[in-house]
Structure 1
């Protein structure tokens, strides 16, 4: 057990990685807390010291051991984050915006559902024109340009679609 920890680690001496872990794991753990979610810190820390043990022969004892370990930690944290599937939520599961008072109103939710069902009952071209106008916040001219359709056609589709929606949403049909 002659020499510094750095030289013993580079020489692959048995026990050097254990000493390295005890001496530097708290600092590497603290560094990893800035890079990965809290529940993943210990797993990535283990990967860092496993790699340090396997590649100790590449370490230059004249250089900074903590900096070398943090370099490994950074690379393994990036690998860990890249390997994770991005958290996605199905669009259908996303709630609609809350009402003016911050709460969802049961009647408002029911009305939204009725409108969605009524829109689904429209012919595709009419529904598309209405959705682009009301949900896409586009003018009829912008809709016509986007769909490469004459402005008069968009006006007719919108008018027919709104007339049909009015019939579908009237209290007599519910």
Structure 2
């Protein structure tokens, strides 16, 4: 399992660093490695949560919960299923969804024999959603690092193409080309997985 973490695919030095840090947390409960992961992902996860509608306090709570889950589940990470970044964001996203469901149910008070229809997704929907998440993760994994990077920045960090170009210090046309190539490659991979 931990050997798998070391065999992070791709040549992205940052991805390899994250994989090594997570491996150190999994194997040795390395607090410094965890601190580096927290320092990198904490602010990004908070921004992600706030862009999805959470206030600052809720976003902080969700970040804390997500990073505690990363600490506790570090040994469960499997590089064959995606990158460390994707894994951490998936944990955070799932915690956000769970919190919204819990808080949404607080607004309903039991009244004698009144039964409210469940807003929870059907079990089939949950299975399909997990299969789709896995398929997208697999499709992301086949992309070259430069293409994966722009897709993650667009969808995880919610950046525009212009913001991505500025952040990567590349021309806007380069970002558009990378996204177009990534969409094509992901589309063919997703078609093959159907």
TM-score range, shorter chain: 0.3 to 0.5
Instruction: Provide the TM-score with structure 1 as the length reference.
Output: 0.44
- Structure with the largest fraction of helix: 2
Instruction: Provide the TM-score with structure 2 as the length reference.
Output: 0.40
State which structure, 1 or 2, has the greater radius of gyration over its C-alpha atoms.
1
